[in-house]
Amino acid sequence: MIWKYLLILVAACLCGIDVKAEYEISTNPVVIRAGLYKEKCRPQFHFTARYWDDYRLNPQNHEEGWLNDMNGLIYNQGEYHFFAQRWWSAWLHAISTDLIHWEELRPAFGKGGKFGGTQSGGGVVDFNNCSGLGDGKEPPMIVFWSSTDNLNQCISYSRDKGRTWTKYENNPVLVHAFRDPNVFWYEPGQKWILILYGPSDAALRQRPMYGVKSREEIENCYLLFSSTNLLDWKKLDARIPIPSNAPICSSCRWTATRARGNGWSSMAMAIM
């Protein structure tokens, strides 16, 4: 067993880790490792995350600074807000003024409560306070996420430039399978558009699909919804079959792309 600890010490020295400081922090997980990006082996131009719930030299599965789905990039009053999944347990959160140097904040919000975990999604700044969730001082930042039942689409919001977040007490704002809602403002129509990956068959819209392995047997597509207040959504007739590389709006260019992994499909939207 001794040789294992010796190897850890050697690796720590090679990577420029202050073992004494790391041990002190491991006894107090609340302390932020300010020197994280000073580690010799840590990438400097790629965002990397710390593990927030605990810290130890031998992390278990999903305890190693896990970083997966990117949940959108929001620009608000001089700051870029970057969000990413830490599995389904939290939305990691970092800010930057130049898209190169990042300051990782505490996770915006995480699992727990009525709707369990917080899966992927996207966010916007409600500059005109269409939602009524603002306090009259700062425009609310609103992010959309799917619960782990893959049926309820929920929101969280911030009134202090993303420093603290609250899960909306009247969640869900939309009940429709499956997941990964993304929202943008459509100026010509003066409304918000939400795009969701899910089943085209209306009979399946109330059917939780968590854990289903045979998703290919269901005709999935990208579904569109509209809203004027970000809280009440109306399903549109338009839908985007998968796969599809064609624009979904004749007078503009809304381009839908997708990513696959282990039978899941998620999406991203670009407006050009």
Beta carbons within 8 Å of 260's beta carbon, 6+ residues apart: none
| Top-confidence residue, 163 or 270 | 163
Is 81 exposed, middle or buried (CB count within 10 Å of its CB: 0-12, 13-18, 19+)?
Answer: buried
Annotation says 69 is catalytic: yes
- The pLDDT score that the predictor gives to residue 214 is 46
Burial readout 115-152 (b: 16 or more C-beta within 10 A, e: otherwise): bebbbbbbbbbbeeebbebbeeebbbbbbbbbbbbbbb
Asked whether the beta carbons of 215 and 201 are under 8 A apart, the reply is no
Asked whether the beta carbons of 67 and 120 are under 8 A apart, the reply is no
Cα atoms found within 13 Å of the Cα of residue 116, Cβ hemisphere only: 13
User: Which of 93-97, 170-174, 190-194, 200-204 has the least mean pLDDT?
Assistant: 200-204
Active-site entry in 53, 69, 98, 149? 69
- The pLDDT score that the predictor gives to residue 25 is 37
- The pLDDT score that the predictor gives to residue 201 is 63
pLDDT tens digit string along 255-268?
A: 666 555 444 444 44
pLDDT tens digit string along 152-191?
A: 999 999 999 999 999 999 999 999 988 899 999 999 999 9
